[in-house]
Amino acid sequence: MSRRLFACFRGKKPSSSTSKPVSGNNSAAVSADVPAGDGPVLVQLFSSQGCKTSPAAEMLMSRLGRGDFDAQIRGGEDGGSGSPAMVLVFHVDYWDYKGWKDPYGSSQWTVRQKAYVEALNLDTMFTPQLVVQGRSQLNENEEETLLKSISEAPRFPSPAFKVLFEEAKKTDASLSFELVKCRLTLFYDYWPMNEVLEALLPKGMIVPSAFEMVGHIAHLNLRDEHLPYKRLIAKVVLDKNQPKIQTVVNKIDPIHNDFRTMQLEVLAGNHSLVTMVVENGLRFHVDLARVYWNSKLGTERQRLLLGFDQNDVVCDVFAGVGPIALAAARIVKRVYANDLNPHAVEFMEQNSVVNKLEKRIEVFNMDGRRFIKAMFSSDKGQKVTQVVMNLPKDAAESLDAFRGVYNDRYRDEGLSFPTIHVYGFSKAADPEFDFHERIRIALSEVAVDVKMRKVRLVAPGKWMLCASFILPKSVAFSRKTINCLVEERDN
């Protein structure tokens, strides 16, 4: 919800008028022990240019703010210190769908109005709506009804901070200031997420303020110490990030299965894990219960794409729902994308249609090694210039599939030796050396000229790396294929 501003008041002699109680549970009500006073009544109007009855309400608020009704509100008495009413107007955005987009409309004000609708136990949102002193509301533009509500609204003490500017004397050009002690109450809606969690969680506990956003889903990765408070944490995350966030989940276990799906527990909000993500100007539909997505790799994917051009043919071995493959399809000649997970393949095909790229990409559902063998044993493989292997857990070990891929071809056929981009994890003291060694072992080739780069630190002491190299000719024509190595091992 949006922050609300609560005025600061100083105590004065209580007003002789009594306040009419208002029914309904108003969470924004000022604490009961604040004494009555002569402070202004806050009148808020929720309006929209897309609503035909809002202009009349705005005109009425304009007159109220100008002071046209001050004497009537005071019961016929003219004068007095300050205006008896304070006016705020907020333009909501939920009428924009009708065709006219209100230039002053904001989802922030829609959320603010929704908070009042809930606090006042109303059934729906509408415009124009007038909220008087946060305790009652009107949905009509009747002048008398509004003035009566303002007159009967509870009053609180006048603002506590006052600066007095006196006419400077010739001998003394100084200004005088008066500071008055006051009481300021700040409610839940005012405080940011981090400060609320810091106040609610045990002292000394690390505040879990960071989370990954996947469409409308906030993906937490809570530590063991947070688990007893997981639902409290999720509720605060949801409250402070609505309406952008509608679901809060936590990862239960690390990824162990071949489909790269995560076990997620819904902690707050709706239980739908189907969402849409926008990346590189493309829309991706994903279901976190059935497919893999990592928004944190968006920058790395963009870096990789910058190395492709219109003459490339790309082979994405572990494509998932297509964040690299579809983005590459807008740049290169052709893309061949594969994934073992049939649900990921289904979403990738759907996403290719949504983004109008289905004619530039061919999708496969195979094991990674089998896909590599199938591609490079066909005529398609001869044109491939870039191979992406973004499966950090197993990709390096899958490089053995390139051994002997051109054994059934002639060396002078004009074959393509693509650049391979392989990702991996390493917990070694020297992660680059460790990953390079694993690549050499998988290829059974010592002389592999590799460009190594650290992508990010995924956990303490655990790096994700990217290695890029051109497929060595000696590997492509190697007589030591996977099948040969399996036979040697079995013997």
Query: Residue 173: what are its φ and ψ, rounded to 5°?
Result: -95, 15
Q: According to the annotation, is 96 in a ligand binding site?
A: no
Closest CA to 153 of 86, 90, 63: 86
Q: According to the annotation, is 301 in a ligand binding site?
A: yes
Interatomic CA distance for residues 369 and 31, integer angstroms: 68
Structure tokens at 180: 């008055």
> Please, where are the H alpha helices in 355-472?
368-376, 431-443
Strands 282-287 and 313-316: unpaired
- Whether 291 and 321 have beta carbons less than 8 Å apart is answered as yes
Q: According to the annotation, is 367 in a ligand binding site?
A: yes
- Whether 1 and 189 have beta carbons less than 8 Å apart is answered as yes
Q: According to the annotation, is 390 in a ligand binding site?
A: yes
Residue 206: is it exposed, middle or buried by C-beta count within 10 angstroms (0-12/13-18/19+)?
A: exposed
3-class SS at 64? helix
Structure tokens at 297: 């790799």
3-class SS at 364? strand
3-state secondary structure 302-322: HHHHCCCCCCCEEEECCCCCC
Q: According to the annotation, is 351 in a ligand binding site?
A: no
The H or E element spanning position 453 is strand 451-459
Structure tokens at 290: 């059935």
Q: According to the annotation, is 453 in a ligand binding site?
A: no
Closest CA to 336 of 301, 385, 277, 292: 385
What strands lie across the sheet with 217-220, from one edge to the other? 212-214, 217-220, 247-253, 263-269
Structure tokens at 52: 């035909």
Instruction: Tell me the residue ranges of DSSP E strands in 48-186.
Output: 85-91, 129-132, 136-138
Binding site for S-adenosyl-L-methionine: residue ranges? 301, 339-340, 367-368, 390
Binding site: residue ranges? 301, 339-340, 367-368, 390
